[in-house]
Amino acid sequence: MSVKPIPEGYHTLTPFLTVRNAERAIEFYKQAFGAQERGVAKGPDGKVMHAEVKIGDSVIMLSDEYPEFGALSPQSVGGSPMGLHIYIENVDAAFDRAVKAGAQVEMPVADQFWGDRYGKLKDPFGHKWSIATHVKDMSADEMKRSMDDAMSKMQKTA
């Protein structure tokens, strides 16, 4: 039997997050995003060396900080230059659940010019998340007109 180059249940791209207090992060992701814990491996010091959670159909790997190996959380490096995006059926309910679990609102949920109902959060561990429900399919021309209208309105209020 041949071995699959991408293991069953994984996608081509799998994010790996470094956090302070991975056990707490796993519980937050369960409460905020409905994550399911897939497994946790701890080192002799009790810190999480590797854990996996599944959100929807996607796996996210995570670990505690290990500065000696260059594994630092956004809190240690002063923020994160990247974010994670979740498409979900009910963005408003998911966003509210994440805020109640401890996420900070960076951009409230609103209908956006590209056809998504979309909002942005920062989790208690410094990682940025955007959450959306796709509500309207648009052609490239429709999206361009919608973007131009949105930018025009922004300029008028600035």
59, part of any domain? yes
Sheet holding 83-87, edge to edge: 83-87, 128-134, 116-122, 104-111
pLDDT score for 157: 80
Q: How many domains does the chain have?
A: 1
pTM of the complete model: 0.88
What is the domain range of residue 100? 16-157
What distance in Å separates the CA atoms of residue 14 and residue 155, rounded to the nearest whole number? 38
153, part of any domain? yes
What is the tens place of the pLDDT at every residue in 21-80? 999 999 999 999 999 999 999 999 999 999 999 999 999 999 999 999 999 999 999 999
88, part of any domain? yes
What distance in Å separates the CA atoms of residue 130 and residue 128, rounded to the nearest whole number? 7
What distance in Å separates the CA atoms of residue 146 and residue 58, rounded to the nearest whole number? 31
**CATH number, domain at 117?**
3.10.180.10
6, part of any domain? no
Helices 22-33 + 91-101 axis angle, to 10:
150
